[in-house]
Amino acid sequence: MTVGGSIISGGPAVASVCFALLALAIPSLAQAPAARKADVVDKICGKFAQDVGKTKEKHGDEVPKTRNLPRTKLELFKADDSGRCCEGLIRIGETRTGFTSDFEFKQQLEPGMYWLAFHPGDHNFTILIKYDPNKKPADTKCSGITYVLEDNGYVWISRPSDTE
């Protein structure tokens, strides 16, 4: 190997060091993103809203302050082992959020893993959920479940019992 006009020998050892330095310099090559853990739900319904970055007190709990995203298209897909949504997956259903951003998928579903895809405007945001009709503790009402969209595109579930 030639560096700055000097010849460096070492063969595989030098190559290993160069690769290690490259891996440190470019973190995306060094590690794959962590798999996202699915949220468990006993019904596929709730409200879809965008986080506006502030919290407010509601029934003694801190919850994200959100703005409604009415008339947003939602799709439900049966998840597979690929860890990806939505191309090539079986679409189970479609609905839209109402005026107050509420939605509900009413069809009978098998317990298992699903992708919930939200399409506000021309965008596509997804969340992996595990549907378990026997979940304990049960979600009491659909109105108590909010799917929160953050500015970075991450969607998460807020419930009244959540303290985060």
H or E segment and range at residue 12: helix 12-25
The pLDDT assigned to 54 comes to 72
CATH 2.60.40 placement within the chain: 39-158
Dump pLDDT digits (tens) for 64-77: 788 999 999 999 99
Dump pLDDT digits (tens) for 116-152: 999 998 899 999 999 999 988 888 789 889 999 999 9
User: pLDDT band for position 84 (50/70/90)?
Assistant: very high
Measuring CA to CA, which residue among 78, 136, 144 is closest to residue 107? 78
pTM, two decimal places: 0.72
Dump pLDDT digits (tens) for 2-39: 545 545 455 555 444 333 433 333 332 222 334 568 99
Q: Which has the higher per-residue pLDDT, 130 or 163?
A: 130
The class of domain 39-158 in CATH terms is mainly beta
